[in-house]
Amino acid sequence: MKKSQLPAPLGELAADNGRSRGHHSLVEGLAFGLLRLSMLLVIAAIFFIFYDIFSKGVGMISWEFITAMPRRGMTEGGIWPAVLGTVYITLITAAASVPVGVFAAIYLNEYAKKNMFTRVIRLSIRNLAGVPSIVYGLFGVALFVRALELGTSLLSAGLTLGLLTLPVTITASEEALKAVPDSFREGALALGATKWQAIRTNVIPSALPGIITGMILGISRAAGETAPILFTGAAFYLASLPNSLSSRFMALPYHLFIMSTQHHSIEKVRPIAYGTALVLIGLVVTMNMSAILLRAHYRKKMRG
Amino acid sequence: METNLVIQVKKLNLYYGKFQALKEVNMEISRQEVTALIGPSGCGKSTFLRTLNRLNDLIDSVQIDGSVSIDGKNIYDKSCDVVALRKKVGMVFQKPNPFPKTIYENVAYGPRVHGIRERKKLDVIVEKSLREAALWDEVKDDLNRSALRLSGGQQQRLCIARVLAVEPDVVLMDEPTSALDPIATQKIEDLIRELKEKFTIVIVTHNMQQAARVSDSTAFFLNGEVLEMGDTEIMFTRPLDQRTEDYITGKFG
């Protein structure tokens, strides 16, 4: 249809479109370019970090490096105590924060009334997620090390990290529960299920992939934290491996901190620092990847 | 006739906070009949349906007075066991809501929560319920398939089978065909006619023809009140109230 054949208002509209098309595509192009640039910056930064650590650390990586004790004032040998300490501490963190986090989320999302009080609780939890980790560290000293007399130990540090992850695990679990359609709850209740039966057999299984993902992401973040374990149990150097919950321990992030800033011959141990960083990143990436794979697996299973 | 009454509603008022959604509703529903609830959107018919199995309890702001008696017992009495009530009064929802489990697990869900663990017993219940819901022939070779893979119409019949598996007396249906195509709708309507041999059915519908086709009695809701209730045939041919006639003939709605 030619412009002249259109009724008057439409004809004007078409003419107007023609005039501003060039302008619109310029704005569109700029906006799009800006978005793309932002994304490239992020990817470039990640790539650079990985490249730097990988290229400088990969030479150190060997079975020996991971499984041997440090020797000669940590200028030689491996990082086994730090690896083991981080694994232990991660397990304690999980044991402390997963049950409490999931149960709190179930209570908040399924049982608590939606009123001012629960809104305040929810807001507080969100805010706790933003509290600097060093503050958690001090709180851990006050509560676990001193008040509960657990001393500087695996247990104190694990519980402190558990507290740090709690806001993340609660929020992630709550979001996962919120994503379960109400029809699953009503459908079960309408069949005569009790509320807890409906939650246990119908709501939680559907929310599980999201809950697990949140847990792993929270815990993997805790695994890389230094500040909260600094005063609560992590040690500069220990000649023996931790053998109980009350032992002090070495941990990868703290070891990395020492090797890159505190050691008496920093230049000499630089490769060990990079090797430690690579192992730590490998550990965290592995945990995050397994979270992603687990979620994909459950999603597929759910869809049948 | 008196013994044939299953549900007796007296002076039922329901409020969502300050908004009154049901006003002085009185209704009697007979055994093994299909009762249709019709009326424009927001008139309270779905709300009313959900008072019959106390599903409105889930909403914090709801307040109810009046009485709903099922088999002579007021279900809003403090002594009423809500779990037993919902076992006796099943519900099919507007949108098919199969659980993300297998076909078998969906049907076995109700019996399981009521304590039946034995596999053989469950097998029998699952087959019987799927047959009653006219779905058995379509799914019998594939009971372990995810229910989410079924078509919309099949999903809705699965939801009906799931309700039948707990052996209710009354089946509530909240616009059960509004999300389905005409062929699937017809299958559900055929099913409703068969089911009333054994069950008492209360169905909310927006579709006048559907009410006329499947129901024995009809109640017309407007602004939270029951304007008219009675024999479906009479209601659709000689309604008492002008507003009923206007709605049925499509002058508003």
Predicted confidence (pLDDT) per residue in B83-101, tens digit: 999 999 999 999 999 999 9
Alpha-carbon distance A193 to nearest alpha carbon in chain B (angstroms): 6
Which residue of A lies nearest to B103 if distances are taken between CA atoms? Answer: A304
* Yes or no, beta carbons of A304 and B149 under 8 Å apart: yes
A22: pLDDT strictly greater than 70: yes
Most B-contacting residue of A191, A199, A202 (CB-CB within 10 A), to test interface: A191
Q: Report the C-alpha gap between A3 and A24 in whole angstroms.
A: 21
Residue A300: predicted pLDDT: 78
Alpha-carbon distance A191 to nearest alpha carbon in chain B (angstroms): 6
Where do we find the tokens 């459908």?
A: A187
Is the CB of residue A256 less than 8 Å from the CB of residue A280?
yes
Q: Which of residues 193-212 of A touch B (CB under 8 A)?
A: 193-194, 197, 201-202, 205-206
Question: Can you tell me whether residue A301 is helix, strand or coil?
Answer: helix
Q: What is the ipTM of this complex?
A: 0.90
Domain ranges of chain A: 63-303
Residue B1: predicted pLDDT: 43
Per-residue pLDDT tens digits for B49-70:
999 999 998 888 899 999 999 9
Q: Report the C-alpha gap between B84 and A66 in whole angstroms.
A: 61
pTM of the full predicted structure?
Answer: 0.80
The pLDDT of A151-168, averaged and rounded, is 92
Q: Report the C-alpha gap between A167 and A124 in whole angstroms.
A: 9
Tokens (6 digits) for B183:
């062929």
Per-residue pLDDT tens digits for B121-133:
999 999 999 999 9
- Of the two residues A5 and A170, the one the predictor is more confident about is A170
Confidence band, pLDDT 50/70/90 cuts, at residue A10: low
Q: Report the C-alpha gap between A220 and A199 in whole angstroms.
A: 28
* Yes or no, beta carbons of B87 and A191 under 8 Å apart: yes
Which residue of A lies nearest to B107 if distances are taken between CA atoms? Answer: A191
Alpha-carbon distance A105 to nearest alpha carbon in chain B (angstroms): 19
Average pLDDT of chain A, as a whole number: 86
A20: pLDDT strictly greater than 80: no
Q: Report the C-alpha gap between A256 and A248 in whole angstroms.
A: 17
A4: pLDDT strictly greater than 60: no
Average pLDDT of chain B, as a whole number: 91
A3: pLDDT strictly greater than 50: no
For residue B60, which residues of chain A lie inside 8 Å, CB to CB? 113-114
Most A-contacting residue of B47, B51, B70, B83 (CB-CB within 10 A), to test interface: B83
Confidence band, pLDDT 50/70/90 cuts, at residue A13: low
Q: Which of B102, B113, B146 lies closest to A192 in CB terms?
A: B113
A16: pLDDT strictly greater than 80: no
Alpha-carbon distance B243 to nearest alpha carbon in chain A (angstroms): 34
The pLDDT of A2-24, averaged and rounded, is 57
Confidence band, pLDDT 50/70/90 cuts, at residue A14: low
A77: pLDDT strictly greater than 80: no
A75: pLDDT strictly greater than 90: no
Instruction: Enter the DSSP assignment of A144.
Output: I
B8: which residues sit within 8 A by CB, 6+ positions away? B27, B28, B29, B68, B69, B70
Residue A246: predicted pLDDT: 81
* Yes or no, beta carbons of B163 and A191 under 8 Å apart: yes
Residue A2: predicted pLDDT: 46
B79: pLDDT strictly greater than 50: yes
Distance, CA of B114 to chain centre: 21
Taking one residue from A and the other from B, the number of pairs with CB-CB distance under 8 angstroms is 77
Which residue of A lies nearest to B110 if distances are taken between CA atoms? Answer: A191
* Yes or no, beta carbons of B93 and A186 under 8 Å apart: yes
Most A-contacting residue of B82, B97, B158 (CB-CB within 10 A), to test interface: B97
- Of the two residues A241 and A195, the one the predictor is more confident about is A195
Reported in sequence order, the residue ranges of chain A that DSSP labels E, i.e. its strands, are 70-71, 76-77
The pLDDT of A225-230, averaged and rounded, is 88
Alpha-carbon distance B36 to nearest alpha carbon in chain A (angstroms): 20
Which residue of B lies nearest to A205 if distances are taken between CA atoms? Answer: B100
* Yes or no, beta carbons of A304 and B145 under 8 Å apart: yes
**B110 contact A CB<8A:** yes
For residue B83, which residues of chain A lie inside 8 Å, CB to CB? 192-194
**B67 contact A CB<8A:** no
For residue B17, which residues of chain A lie inside 8 Å, CB to CB? none
Residue B60: predicted pLDDT: 82
A44: pLDDT strictly greater than 70: yes
Which residue of B lies nearest to A196 if distances are taken between CA atoms? Answer: B113
For residue B93, which residues of chain A lie inside 8 Å, CB to CB? 183, 186-187, 190
Q: Report the C-alpha gap between A107 and A70 in whole angstroms.
A: 47
- Of the two residues B4 and B21, the one the predictor is more confident about is B21
Q: Report the C-alpha gap between A299 and A257 in whole angstroms.
A: 39
Q: Fold for domain A63-303?
A: MetI-like fold (1.10.3720)
Q: How far from A241 is each of A79, A107, A134, CA to CA, in Å?
A: 11, 40, 26
Residue B59: predicted pLDDT: 86
Q: Which of B99, B145, B162 lies closest to A184 in CB terms?
A: B99
The pLDDT of A151-177, averaged and rounded, is 92
A136: pLDDT strictly greater than 90: yes
For residue A206, which residues of chain B lie inside 8 Å, CB to CB? 100
The pLDDT of A98-127, averaged and rounded, is 92
The pLDDT of B149-164, averaged and rounded, is 93
A36: pLDDT strictly greater than 80: yes
**B34 contact A CB<8A:** no
Residue A278: predicted pLDDT: 93
* Yes or no, beta carbons of A202 and B99 under 8 Å apart: yes
**B94 contact A CB<8A:** no
The size of chain A, in residues, is 304
Q: Which of residues 128-147 of B touch A (CB under 8 A)?
A: 145-147
B81: pLDDT strictly greater than 80: yes
**HSE (side-chain half, CA atoms, 13 Å) at B112:** 16
